[in-house]
A and B are shown apart, each in its own frame.
Chain A
Amino acid sequence: VNGSESLLSYLDAPIVVGDPDGRAVYVNPAFEQSFPRSGKSALGVPLAELFDGGAREAVLRGVVAACEERATARFRIRACDVGYAAVASPIETSGQAVGVVILFKEELGDAERLLQIQREMQSALDELGGTLDALLEQTGGRRNPQHRALVEDGVRAVMRMRKWSEEMEAAVAGRPSAQSTDRIAPADLLKRVAERASRLAEGVGSSVALLSPGTLPELVADEGRLSSLLHRMVEARLEAESPPEILTIGARLAGKSSERALILSLTELRSGGYPAAFQDIALVDEALGALGAKRHSFTSANLGRTTIVRIPLA
């Protein structure tokens, strides 16, 4: 054992060597770092007693298998919140069992591996977010609303990715979901949507009206997703071939008690109306479905057309 100490001490994997009675005679530095009982205090202690709980039982079986049955035993333990795959092998000299060596290899469990992936994704997202922010800053002064809107779409997508990445981290770590407690003040959200829509409307000769009370009951939803969805629906209408003369963004409550819902609407007023309902892209319906919302369109030959979104409040 002494001859191999210098070699074993350089290994990253924790190693413990026991005598034929199963008592510790050597632990390498990696073992000292990884397990609570370390260094000379571990020497002479039965190998199994260096561990607690279920790990103690597993090590004991491994030592018995190696020392008494002279067989290599493989087992898994968990100590200090880390999982290890262990191999216990007998040490033999001239056919005599002179001890046991146990090597521990740190295992990345599924959860730990997911967390590692999540951290890598988060890091990449932070970089992407920074790049888009810089791009937005540089294009913000230019009078190119479409270019700006595209970059802003990207920024919002990164925000959503960040949120879901954090959600994954919470799920893997067993923490409660942050998304489910995301409470939105719809009236404030609609003000922001309307302000941005007004700027866009100026460029296409339209105007925007907001018909919403000063306060509305809070919604439990992903604010980034809802905001992005509404921006997309508004922009699609203002950038259409025949934009409305006035785009009205509306919000009001409908129903009673547990069946109460928020009715959001986008009304395109135009002299002569429209021949058909506005066709939102399929992604809009998918996103609305994820919010538990329903969409419906109505067209009037003389006034214009409306798309409403019903979001349950319960």
Chain B
Amino acid sequence: VAETSEQKIARLMAEGLDHYGQDQLEQAAACWCAVLALDPRHEVARDYLEVAGFGEASARPPAAGGVADAFLREGLAALARGADAEALDLLESATREAPDNLESHAALDLVRASLFQRQRTRTRGGAGVLGVKLGPNEILRFNLPPNAGFVLSMIDGHTSADELIALTSMDPFDALHTLGKLIDAGIVEVRA
């Protein structure tokens, strides 16, 4: 359910190309620098940076601040175009890279608050009862991360989203966000 490192790299590479195609060289370079932060041996990202005139940036390992700045820039750009889910990933990466950067934290909390309300709407304001759509064998194929497995284990066909949040004792955002991904994956459904 969670985006893997490979998926994130593929996404950042594509986003970089999009920016490059629109002559947004700084943003494109930020995406490819972020790729190098995830995989310093990524030759394609290095080539793209050189072609775009950022050869110097690709020649050295990206500094922690530079990578965090790149994630923050991309996160804010995603936020500005309304791509909240994408902004969430980028801003979480930015705060992991630079935990003292208050701008990243503030932007991240704004996105979390917004996405939380969106997920609540999907669960009928938290009142919707949750049910599991798939059988155990089908669920096994998803190779769910531990937190998703934990949330899934609480779903019994009688418990509402709000009750589930209270039961898990998790951060309500994390619980509902995980639940949203389970719904997206077709594993869980919201019943009346």
Chain B residues with Cβ below 8 Å from A263 are 105, 109
Q: Is the CB of B114 within 8 A of A303?
A: yes
Chain A residues with Cβ below 8 Å from B106 are 265, 296-298, 306-308
B186, CB-defined interface residue at 8 Å: no
Among candidates B95, B102, B116, residue contacting A211 with C-beta atoms closer than 8 Å: B116
B129 to chain A, nearest CB (A): 21
B27 to chain A, nearest CB (A): 18
| Bound form: Cα–Cα A246–B113 in Å | 9
Chain B residues with Cβ below 8 Å from A103 are none
Q: Is the CB of B117 within 8 A of A308?
A: no
Chain A residues with Cβ below 8 Å from B99 are 254-256, 259, 261
| Bound form: Cα–Cα A263–B104 in Å | 11
Q: Is the CB of A211 within 8 A of B171?
A: yes
Q: Is the CB of B105 within 8 A of A209?
A: no
B14, CB-defined interface residue at 8 Å: no
Per-residue interface assignment for chain A, residues 207 to 225, with 1 indicating a CB less than 8 Å from any chain B CB and 0 otherwise: 0011111110000000000
Majority SS of interface residues in chain A?
Answer: strand
A250, CB-defined interface residue at 8 Å: yes
Taking CB atoms and an 8 Å cut-off, the chain B residues in 144-179 that contact chain A are 169-174
Q: A254-B95, A254-B99, A296-B103 are in contact. Are A209 and B117 (CB under 8 A)?
A: yes
B107, CB-defined interface residue at 8 Å: yes
A89, CB-defined interface residue at 8 Å: no
Q: A296-B103, A310-B105 are in contact. Are A248 and B169 (CB under 8 A)?
A: no
Chain A residues with Cβ below 8 Å from B110 are 267, 298, 300, 303-306
Per-residue interface assignment for chain B, residues 103 to 125, with 1 indicating a CB less than 8 Å from any chain A CB and 0 otherwise: 10111011111101100000000
Taking CB atoms and an 8 Å cut-off, the chain B residues in 35-69 that contact chain A are none
Chain B residues with Cβ below 8 Å from A302 are 80, 82
Per-residue interface assignment for chain A, residues 179 to 212, with 1 indicating a CB less than 8 Å from any chain B CB and 0 otherwise: 0000000000000000000000000000001111
Per-residue interface assignment for chain A, residues 225 to 254, with 1 indicating a CB less than 8 Å from any chain B CB and 0 otherwise: 000000000000000000000101010101
Chain B residues with Cβ below 8 Å from A255 are 99-100
B12, CB-defined interface residue at 8 Å: no
Q: Is the CB of B173 within 8 A of A308?
A: no
Q: A255-B100, A296-B102, A298-B106 are in contact. Are A213 and B117 (CB under 8 A)?
A: no
Q: Is the CB of A269 within 8 A of B102?
A: no
Among candidates A211, A254, A256, A303, residue contacting B173 with C-beta atoms closer than 8 Å: A211
Chain A residues with Cβ below 8 Å from B95 are 254
Q: Is the CB of A250 within 8 A of B117?
A: no
B31, CB-defined interface residue at 8 Å: no
A105, CB-defined interface residue at 8 Å: no
Q: Is the CB of B107 within 8 A of A209?
A: no
Closest to A210 in B: B172
Most buried by B among A215, A269, A294, A308: A308
Chain A residues with Cβ below 8 Å from B111 are 303
A161 to chain B, nearest CB (A): 32
B127 to chain A, nearest CB (A): 14
Q: Is the CB of B114 within 8 A of A269?
A: yes
Q: Is the CB of A298 within 8 A of B103?
A: yes
15 contacts between A and B (CB under 8 A): A211-B113, A212-B172, A250-B113, A255-B99, A261-B99, A265-B113, A267-B113, A269-B114, A269-B117, A298-B110, A300-B107, A303-B79, A303-B111, A306-B107, A310-B100
A: residues with CB less than 8 A from B are 209-215, 246, 248, 250, 252, 254-256, 259, 261, 263, 265, 267, 269, 294, 296-298, 300-308, 310
